[in-house]
Chains A and B, each alone.
Chain A
């Protein structure tokens, strides 16, 4: 399998190497598979026989070896969301639930496993990233399992669970007093100086391909079918582009039929540069200063923003945003209807989906997939003020009975 990188802008080809940017035109480099070798070889039957993890699609990934923790990553549940469907008055609703991805409870485990496989191939002893939290968790966990050292940079005001969930793996964690975009700039400068494998810098073309498995799984789990609508949260804008790429690759290989798939991107109103671009019909992305409780999406200068906007426009989808209150309501709605506790990014996506459905942009009789990419246990701070204990009582039956009788509707 050719492991070549190619510039997305000018098409210049590069051999496999830790690099993310075209030397000629500065466009981003992307990994490309030679499909002609795979048609008729990678079949539904062949994939279906394989273990239920993301490596069942390995021919479509830029890897030669699966790293140590990789064997259990991916193939998360595609939940049939009947209760939420009823609530919204839609007929066919699914949730792709990466809140329970292994090992660190977000879709970032997928991208990191590919990046770490490449880091090992390239001989890096240190891996790192700039992160809003989930990526830090995933890099720290998998680097520990692969006996690699880490250099992980985060904004210092991240949720405590995401900080603890990085430190526990013995990571070198640098908290930076600035927003993600400032952390990212610093990370780029560090990556320029030290020969380390930064998953979102010099390993980015490989890392990003891991996101495709989220899309492949949706298509396979739907019975080798394309949903008519997919809603995706956006931070840097990479996942939404790779979901579209997953659909296109499966179509090219004949694994699914050609049918339209509208893709929608969701951002928090306090950090919606990509949604703004789409809604206002702009060609250029204007960066913003993030101000939202959805910290995992708080990237004001998303590197893949223009490509994410293109995916929405080309597919017939659009962008939608959510306020902080709507984000909290979205988290609670998903939890109380489907029993799935997602993080703030999931709340953004749920709130955006609700708007798209209520406004009629997504018709109620068509199939819809909601992308849950992270776990609510990591961002509990965002919702603790909005939920409360039913009652605190003495350990007597009398106290319980009084509470029950005064409880009213909640118990019915």
Chain B
């Protein structure tokens, strides 16, 4: 199934400048895999050495951080929105 993925500025060099793309997959991991197939190099720097996402990258399914769900195995359905965003500070 296809879900909408919102792309942060820093990754748009891989998506021909597009801020939103469609991707196939039943989990966040599969979505990222499909994005790599569509846009070679997209996930090249997303993963840390341990295979998990780098700590500077946050991924949300709809409004929720996937670390509160099932991390990369979080299921996604059509009509879901996956948002990739850099982590930022504040207070």
Contact = CB atoms under 8 A, between A and B. Distances in A.
Report whether chain A binds chain B.
yes
Interface of A: 9, 20-21, 23-28, 108, 129-132, 134-135, 180-182, 184-185, 187-189, 192, 200-201, 204, 208, 235-238, 284-287, 289, 296-297, 299, 301-306
B63 A27 contact: no
Given A26-B10, A301-B65, A296 B86 contact: no
Contact of B90 (A24, A200, A286, A287): A200
Interface magnitude class on chain B: 20 to 34
Contacts of A135: 90-91
Interface stretch (B26-34, B52-60, B72-80): B52-60
Given A21-B86, A108-B91, A238-B89, 15 more contacts: A20-B88, A21-B10, A27-B54, A131-B90, A135-B91, A185-B60, A188-B86, A189-B6, A200-B89, A208-B89, A296-B91, A301-B87, A302-B89, A303-B56, A303-B90
A238 B46 CA distance: 23
B90 A130 contact: yes
A20 B86 contact: yes
28 contacts: A21-B10, A21-B56, A21-B86, A23-B13, A25-B54, A26-B45, A26-B46, A26-B54, A26-B56, A129-B90, A130-B88, A132-B90, A180-B90, A181-B65, A182-B63, A184-B88, A185-B60, A188-B85, A188-B88, A189-B6, A200-B88, A200-B91, A201-B88, A237-B89, A296-B91, A301-B67, A303-B90, A306-B55
Report which residue of B60, B88, B90 has the largest number of chain A beta carbons within 10 angstroms of its beta carbon: B90
Given A21-B56, A27-B56, A287-B65, A185 B85 contact: yes
Q: Which 10 A-B pairs have the closest CB atoms?
A: A200-B90, A235-B91, A303-B89, A236-B89, A303-B87, A26-B56, A21-B86, A130-B90, A236-B91, A201-B88
Report which residue of B45, B54, B56 has the largest number of chain A beta carbons within 10 angstroms of its beta carbon: B56
A213 B80 CA distance: 45
Nearest to A8: B56
Nearest to B48: A284
A128 to B, nearest CB: 11
A204 B85 contact: no
Nearest to A285: B55
Contacts of B88: 20, 130, 184, 187-188, 200-201, 204, 303
Nearest to A208: B89
Contacts of B10: 21, 23, 26
B84 to A, nearest CB: 10
B63 to A, nearest CB: 7
Contacts of A131: 90-91
Report which residue of B6, B55, B67, B85 has the largest number of chain A beta carbons within 10 angstroms of its beta carbon: B55
Contacts of A286: 67
Report which residue of A26, A132, A208, A304 has the largest number of chain B beta carbons within 10 angstroms of its beta carbon: A26
A291 to B, nearest CB: 14
